[in-house]
Chains A and B, each alone.
Chain A
Amino acid sequence: GQQVMQIPQYQHVQEGEDFTTYCNSSTTLSNIQWYKQRPGGHPVFLIQLVKSGEVKKQKRLTFQFGEAKKNSSLHITATQTTDVGTYFCAGRNQFYFGTGTSLTVIP
């Protein structure tokens, strides 16, 4: 079953504030992927991290893979209303998705 946990489960932020979600696995991951699901939509791939300690950036989004390859984080700088949605990490050969973090951005 699922062995990837995410925290927090929900996060409400004011527009312009930063946001971080954390993904933790009980086992070492070969790689990790992040997805975003807009309300009423389907998960859409954001990025994949492979190397220990890897950091990747996409505009205001920063993704990090832990040194032990058991945890990962997604940080959004200066949130916008377009960032609303649920963010999932997927590990264990990308089959299993984390519990997700639902982000609400208050204008």
Chain B
Amino acid sequence: DAGVIQSPRHEVTEMGQEVTLRCKPISGHNSLFWYRQTMMRGLELLIYFNNNVPIDDSGMPEDRFSAKMPNASFSTLKIQPSEPRDSAVYFCASTRATLAGLTGELFFGEGSRLTVL
């Protein structure tokens, strides 16, 4: 089975440009997470969707960041305008949530490495 698929794997852009990162969760998973990883801040949760609905976006840094999940098989994380401090590896992860809550493991994609010059 295909795992979580992220694109692009690498992105180099200039400050001020718009960046869109994409994620396809594992089929059948109904919860999707976006994380950002840097040396300084570790693995930070940005936003979490359940059944395509954003549940917790308290980790989204600021208004420049937005995330959408138009359907169960696709999500985007957009940064507009991008800044050098946004340089990081962005991971998408998915799992299956039940009425009792999240109890399963998170499956991570291979990440999108973003460099903003």
Q: Among A17-25, A58-66, A70-78, A96-104, which stretch is in contact with chain B?
A: A96-104
* Chain A, 43-98, CB within 8 A of any chain B CB: 43-45, 48, 88, 90, 93-98
Chain B residues, CB < 8 A from A98: 42
The reply to whether B102 and A42 contact each other, CB–CB distance below 8 Å, is no
Known: A43-B91, A48-B103. 14 other contacts (CB 8 A): A41-B110, A42-B91, A42-B108, A42-B109, A42-B111, A43-B43, A43-B106, A43-B108, A45-B106, A88-B43, A90-B106, A95-B33, A97-B35, A99-B42
The reply to whether A45 and B45 contact each other, CB–CB distance below 8 Å, is no
Q: Chain A at the B interface: mostly helix, strand, loop or mixed?
A: loop
The reply to whether B42 and A42 contact each other, CB–CB distance below 8 Å, is no
The reply to whether A95 and B56 contact each other, CB–CB distance below 8 Å, is yes
In chain A, what residue has the closest Cβ to B108? A42
- C-beta contact mask, B48-70 vs A, less than 8 Å → 1, else 0? 10000000101100000000000
Instruction: Kindly state whether residue B105 has any CB partner on chain A within 8 Å.
Output: yes
Instruction: Kindly state whether residue A107 has any CB partner on chain B within 8 Å.
Output: no
Task: Give CA–CA (A67, B75) in the complex, Å.
Answer: 39
Q: Which of B43, B102, B106, B110 has the most CB of A within 10 A?
A: B43
Instruction: Kindly state whether residue B101 has any CB partner on chain A within 8 Å.
Output: yes
Given A43-B108, A88-B43, A100-B43: A93 and B59 interface contact (C-beta under 8 Å): no
Given A1-B59, A42-B91, A48-B105: A96 and B45 interface contact (C-beta under 8 Å): yes
Q: Chain B at the A interface: mostly helix, strand, loop or mixed?
A: strand
Instruction: Kindly state whether residue A14 has any CB partner on chain B within 8 Å.
Output: no
Instruction: Kindly state whether residue B18 has any CB partner on chain A within 8 Å.
Output: no
For this complex, 21 residue pairs linking A to B, each with C-beta atoms less than 8 Å apart, are A2-B42, A31-B103, A35-B106, A41-B110, A42-B91, A42-B111, A43-B43, A43-B93, A43-B106, A45-B105, A45-B106, A48-B103, A88-B43, A90-B106, A93-B102, A94-B102, A94-B105, A95-B45, A95-B56, A97-B35, A97-B43
Cβ distance A33 to chain B, nearest Cβ, rounded Å: 7
